Each structure stands twice: as structure tokens, then as C-alpha cells.
Structure 1
Amino acid sequence: MAYDLKQEDEVKEYIENLGIEYRFGCYKEKKPEVCHLLGDYLEAIKKDFDKAAKVFKSNCLDYKFGKSCLKIGNYTLIGRGREKGDAAEALKYFEKGCEYNEPGACLHAGMLLTATGPGVNITRDVPKGYNYLKKSCDQNDPMACHYLSGMYLTGVPKNVAEFNPHRPDKNANIEYLIKSDKTQAFNFAKKACELGNMYACANVSMMYKRGDGVEKNPDESKKFFEIAQALQKAHETTKEIKFQQGLDGK
């Protein structure tokens, strides 16, 4: 049946039928991809986060669908579809998602394990977190590559409280879990840039300008600066389009 999406009643019918189709594909045909779509439908269309959380959780644990593990991990982290967030429980879902080769889940697991700060009820484990981040970057997640670049740019201290980001001369004698390596930082930044991370492109430009981890090259510095600018402009345009979509004549 063809729907006229300019007619409100037909839009409502289309949306309801979509929900029926997703429920059939998930519960009767037991298709993980469709179960994930059902979760997205419950989240975005019905705004029923409790039911969406149950679908994502079941699809992660029962059908081993990595994208749903990432979703329920995020729900658990921020407290959506539950009373409050729980980073330690969220980590378990992210780790499962990473096991099922979902790069976003690997990224989140790695960031939680390498992070410190109030409200993070997780024992810091930089080597384990690094492996998750590396797996995510290897699967072409730009943020994971950018995050790894930052780790190598400054180094990762064993005791964060001893590290002074504003006075590098004060950090000479502290112990590092990952030592600063500008070449590694450049390589990860360049990959992140090639994958579309504008901040990484800006860093690559600066590293070419300074000769950090790579030979100085003003032409390459200018090239990557222009790439960073283009990505920023594209990002701003996308945000503007999203904001304006649905307005009359737009």
C-alpha cells in the first residue's frame, strides 16, 4: 500500500504498521536486526524508554547483537529506562558489544576503563582499556583513534594526581603506564582525520607545523588545516539542516 505522508491520518497508520512489522520480525521471526529496529522505534517514535531498554537488553544478551549492547550500555550509563545510571553495569554491556565486534561498544568500554573522576565506580585498567580502544580504532571508529592519539600525545600517568598538564617540566619523574610517543600520536591522529574527525585533522595540522612525531611540512600543515575547516563547516551545516527540518518550505 502506498501512503501519502502529507496526510496526518496516513502518517499515523504508516507508523503503527511499522511497529507491527518490527514486532513480528523480532518476536515471531526472531531477527536480531529487526529487534534492534523495534528498540529504535520504541525509543524514537513511542518515547517508551522502559520498553526500548528491555528490547535492547534482550537483543544483546539473547541474540548477541552488538549494536543493541551499545544501546543498553548507554541506557544503563545515563539512567535511561531505569532509576539511575550505573557505569560498572554499563561496562559489562559495552564489553559484550565489543566481543560481538561493535566498534562503538569497544570505544565506550575503553573510555570507561581509562577514565578517572567522580561518579565512575569502575577500577581503572589502562592496559585493558587500551586494547578495547585499539580494537575500535582498527575497526575504523574515528573517536577511538583520536582518543588513542591523545593518550600518546601526553602519556598516561600511573597516578593521575601527580600529573600536571600545565607544567610538563614537573612530570619528568612520574611513572607512566603509556609513555608519550609523538610518532604514535601522529599516526593515530592522521587515521582519525582520514576517518572524518575534525579535531584530529587540526592536531595533524599542528603536528606538521611543529614537527611533532613527523617532519615539519608547512604545505601538509596547511592542507590538514583546510580539511579540518571543511569538516567543521560540514558539521555546522548538518546541525543547521537538522534544526530546520520540518519547517515550512525547508
Structure 2
Amino acid sequence: MIKIFMSVGLLFSINLFASTGHDHSHHGTKKGTQEKVKAYIKACDDGDMKSCNNLAVLYDLGEVVKQDKKKAIELYTKACNGGSKYSCNTLGNMYFKGDSMVQNKTKAIEFYTKACDAGNDYSCNNLAIIYIRGDGVKQDKEKAKELFFKACDSGNIGACKNYKKLNESSK
């Protein structure tokens, strides 16, 4: 039984915190990247949440622009509030790990739930892991199973493996 839970734990940890929805098309010449950043800024200001997310990633990682975690969080929040499931997932990751902010698992769960409800399979998988571990919530294997299934149904292979392992360990 311990062996099963250790295997399940390994699978659970593999997919936790994946996917930013980051567009890597900014890589290229210096002039081209500066123009891309300007285009992201304009598009974000005009309400394009994908551009807000991409700009947030640049500030978060310090790619092309000077790293500014505070600005990144502002942009992720704007994009999440505007419907970007990737930004919501990233905020969930940041709150869960305490990356550039005080760790807050309740907030992490809130953002993961918002992203999962919007169809982000990584967030559904992350939530399932949280429920299976009882990490910040009451442990709930049935809820975890539902979330793994939802993520698996969206094409998340790791979630499919997690779902299968959870079913096998329940027998």
C-alpha cells in the first residue's frame, strides 16, 4: 500500500505547476523583440488578455524586459480577471509556492478553480493533487478523482495517469 501511494505521489508531483500559456514568439532580433513588447503593451491596453499574459511572462522571467515581479503579478491579475485561464493558473502557482508573494493556499485554490472552470487542464490536475493530499483543504479523493478525470478528458496525459493510479489504489 505504501508503494502505491509513493508511486501516486511521484505522478502527482510531476504535473504540479505546469503551463503558463506563454507565447515564445518574442524570441528573435533585439529590434524585433522590442517591437513585439510594444505590440503586447498596446494590445494589453486594448483589452487583449493573451497579450497581457504574454507580457506578464516577460516581466516574470525577465525576458526582453527588466524582471519586475510586481508588474508581472499586476498583469497576470488583469489577464486572469479578463478570462485568461493561463494567467489564473500562474497566479495559483505563485500563491501556492509563495513565489514573489506570501504563500496563500486558499488564494492558490481560488485561482486554480477559476482556471480549471475555464478549461485549464493543468489547474484541474493541480487542484486534484491538492485534494488528494489535503493540502489547504479537507482531503477528498472523490473530488480529486473528478478533477483528474476532467483534466484527462482535456488531454492532460499526466492527469490520465494520476486518475488511473488513484482508481487502482482505491481497489
Sort the TM-score into its range (normalised by shorter chain).
0.7 to 0.9
CA distance in 2, matches of 1:131, 1:154: 15
Aligned residue in 2 for 1:33: 50
1:32 Cα deviation after fit: 1.4
In structure 1, the partner of 2:95 is 76
Deviations 1:103-140 (A, max 9, x none): 11111111111114xxx322222222221111100001
- Please state how far the C-alpha of 1:59 moved relative to its aligned partner: 1.1
Contact 1:87 1:121 (C-alpha < 8 Å) held by counterparts: yes
Deviations 1:77-118 (A, max 9, x none): 111221x322221011000001101111111111111114xx
**Cα distance in 2 between the residues matched to 1:21 and 1:40:** 15
Structure with greater helix percent: 2
Selected match of 1:96 from 88, 91, 114: 114
Give the equivalent residue in structure 2 for 1:123: 138
Name the residue aligned to 1:65.
84
For residue 108 of structure 1, the aligned residue among 116, 126, 131 is 126
Kindly state the Cα deviation for residue 37 of structure 1 after the two structures are TM-superposed: 0.9
Q: Do the aligned partners of 2:130 and 2:136 also contact (CA within 8 Å) in 1?
A: no
Determine the structure 1 residue equivalent to 2:156.
141
Corresponding position: 1:42 with 2:83: no
Structure 1 contact 66–101 (Cα < 8 Å) conserved: yes
What root-mean-square deviation, in Å, do the aligned CA atoms of Structure 1 and Structure 2 show?
1.6
Q: Which has the higher contact order (CA 8 A, sep 6+)?
A: 2
Shift of 1:16: 3.0
State the TM-score, normalizing by the size of structure 2. Answer: 0.75
The CA deviation at 1:152 is: 1.7
Structure 2 matches for 1:196-235, cutoff 5 A? none
Judge conservation of contact 1:49–1:80 (CA < 8 Å) in 2.
Answer: no
Asked whether the equivalents of residues 124 and 150 of structure 2 are also in contact (C-alpha less than 8 Å), the reply is yes
TM-score by length of 1: 0.53
**CA offsets per residue over residues 203-228 of structure 1, 9 Å max, x none?**
xxxxxxxxxxxxxxxxxxxxxxxxxx
Q: Which amino acid aligns with 1:33?
A: K
Q: Distance in 2 between matches of 1:31 and 1:58?
A: 10
The correspondence for 2:167, drawn from 152, 162, 165, is: 152
Do 2:131 and 2:139's aligned partners in 1 also have CA atoms closer than 8 Å?
Answer: yes
**2:103 aligned partner:** 85
Q: Please give the alpha-carbon distance, in whole angstroms, between the structure 1 residues aligned to 2:169 and 2:38.
A: 52
- Greater Rg over alpha carbons, structure: 1
Secondary structure of the corresponding residue to residue 111 of structure 2: helix
| Matched residue type, 1:35 | C
Contact 2:133 2:139 in 1 (8 A): yes
Offset at 1:21?
1.4
Q: Distance in 2 between matches of 1:56 and 1:125?
A: 29
Q: Name 1:212's counterpart in structure 2.
A: none
The CA distance in 1 between the partners of 2:74 and 2:60, in whole Å, is 11
Q: Matched residues in 2 for 1:58 and 1:128: separation?
A: 29
Cα distance between partner residues in 2 of 1:123 and 1:48: 35
Q: How many residues align?
A: 141
